[in-house]
Structures are given as structure tokens and as C-alpha cells.
Structure 1
Amino acid sequence: MRKGRAVAHRGREVLTVLVLAARVERDVRRLPLPALAARYGLRLAAEPPGEPPDTLLPRWAGDRVRTVWQVMRVWPSARERLCLRRSLVLGARLRELEPDLVVGIDPDSVAAGQQLAAHAWVVVGGHSLDSTARRYVPLQAGS
């Protein structure tokens, strides 16, 4: 791909992610989690996170993952709840790969009597796309 086309493609991808992020921001305030997951092409799952993939994803998917993480890193929503928003946007961009949405809790926060720490991440083909997911225990879907 020539440089001009590559820049235009990247710009379209960033714009797509921004539009999706705005929709997610609206929907996360109105819809329950199962409806959110379905709307953005994710299945709710309760699998322990596998290792992050090395070559699992096709190139187009890897490019989308990087773009979503870069855009959502500067998204102006509440930082402590960004993982769900990022996961929904990422799921929508990887819909063709039939991604799963996993929500889990940090067992150390429960054991220490601290505020419950929760996290959401995307799994594709049994592999987590978030390296921090290993420290969380998945909740059962529907619980």
C-alpha cells in the first residue's frame, strides 16, 4: 500500500474507533451487560485468560487492536471503567473473529477487604488480548 493510501486507511480506522467509542459511551449508561455485549458482537464468557497471542491474529486484526488501544488510551471517560468501553469497541472491530467478553474480579482485592477491583477484556480463540487479565478471576456468564 502506498504511503498516501496507508495514511488515509489509518485515518479511517481512527475515525471508526472514535465513532464506536462515542456509541459505546452512550450505550454503557443505558444497557445491561448482556445487551451491550451482543450489540457490539461479543459473547459473554467465563473462561480463564489464556496467554496473549503471538501470531494468532491476522494482520488486519492486529492493526485494529493497536488502533483501539491507542485511541482508548486517551478517551476522556472515567479511567477506572475504561476497560469495559475498550473491550466493547475492540469486540466490534474484531467481530469477524467471534470475540468473547470476559469480566472478572481481582481476588486479592476481595481478600484484603478493599474495594472490589473488576476488569473486562476480550478473548479471541481462547487467548486473551489483554496481558493484565491473568490476575483476575472470571465471573460466570449470567451471574
Structure 2
Amino acid sequence: MARCPGDTVSVRRPPFGEWPWIVAALALAVVAELGLRTAGLPRLARMFGTPLRTDDSTPAQPDHPSGAPVLDDRARRQVRSSRRVMRHWPFGDTCLRQALISGALLRRLGPELLVGVAKIDGQVRAHAWLEINGGILDPLGAAASYTPLLSPDALDVK
């Protein structure tokens, strides 16, 4: 259906309280992009306040059936803001970038970054997600299908 010149299109705008987090997520996305190209992942993750888990001593044991962490309103706005920025990011909305930026915004909650691999349709694929207080924060909901890489040497790629 063609639109007439006088028609209005409603655009869903973020709530006013989300704008500071959107700006912060955008700044973190720029730093993450540069860091992914120049620093090793363990170092970048530490800089972002989201240390890379390198041992299996603290596997996720969610206290609730969904497996997702319980987040307050502020944390939900922060995650939503990082997703909003990454949806429009010109270098790709990868799970690693998403996890780094969300983790940096949520660093007060003590998130840990996990990177896993799986063989899917004959190809080895990687995925990144966060664990917070025993819950898994994974927008794709695919973390259970991946085996975490727990060697920091395997991830120290520059």
C-alpha cells in the first residue's frame, strides 16, 4: 500500500530515561570495536568490567526456571539500550559485541563473559553470552547448545 504525502508514520522512540544508556552503549561500542581489533579478548573483557571466565569452577546454577538472571528496571533499560545500539551498528550485531557492551553497562552486577563453540551443520561456530548471579543473559537463547572455551590462550587473538 502506497503512502500519501500527508500520512504520518509512527516511530517507536526510546523512553527518555533510556537515552543516557543509549549514549553510553554507543560510546562502549566504539571502544569495543577498536579493542576487538587491537587488544586480546581477555584484556578487553577485563577493561569492560566483564571478566572472561577461564575455569569451570562456577558453572551457572540458576535459581529460577527460566535460567535468565533477575534484573531490576535499571539493568533491563541498560540491556535494552545496548541491543538498540547494536541493531544499528554498521560492523555487525555479533553476540560478542553485545555481551561486552551489556556486561560493561551491568558491571555493578558482576557479570562474567563466556565464549563457547559448537558444531552446527558440519561447521564449528562460536557464541558469547553473560552469566550474572547464576543466570544466563543471552539474547539468542543459544548458550545451552555451546561448550564453553575455558582456556584464556585459545581466546587471546589479536
Q: Same fold (TM over 0.5)?
A: yes
Note the residue ranges of structure 1 that are not aligned, 5 or more in a row: 1-5
Query: Are residue 132 (structure 1) and residue 157 (structure 2) matched?
Result: no
Residue 140 of structure 1 deviates from its aligned partner by 1.0
Residue 78 of structure 1 deviates from its aligned partner by 3.5
Note the residue ranges of structure 2 that are not aligned, 5 or more in a row: 1-14
Given that 2:18 and 2:78 are in contact with CA atoms closer than 8 Å, whether structure 1 keeps it comes out as: no
Residue 44 of structure 1 deviates from its aligned partner by 1.4
Residue 12 of structure 1 deviates from its aligned partner by 1.6
Aligned position for 1:27: 35
Residue 16 of structure 1 deviates from its aligned partner by 1.0
Distance 2:49 2:92 in 1: 23
Q: Highest Rg: 1 or 2?
A: 2
Which aligned pairs between 1:79-98 and structure 2 lie closer than 5 A? 79=93, 82-98=94-110
Give the helix-richer structure, 1 or 2: 1
Distance 1:85 1:28 in 2: 9
Which SS does the other structure have where 1:122 is aligned? strand
Which SS does the other structure have where 2:114 is aligned? strand
Q: What's the TM-score, normalizing by structure 1?
A: 0.81
Distance 2:81 2:19 in 1: 10
Q: What's the TM-score, normalizing by structure 2?
A: 0.74
Given that 1:83 and 1:121 are in contact with CA atoms closer than 8 Å, whether structure 2 keeps it comes out as: yes
Which aligned pairs between 1:1-143 and structure 2 lie closer than 5 A? 7=16, 9-45=17-53, 51-53=66-68, 56-79=70-93, 82-108=94-120, 112=122, 114=123, 116-130=124-138, 131-142=141-152, 143=154
The one-letter code sitting in structure 2 at the alignment partner of 1:53 is A
The one-letter code sitting in structure 2 at the alignment partner of 1:140 is L
Distance 2:32 2:118 in 1: 24
> Deviation above 6 Å: which 4+ runs of structure 1?
none
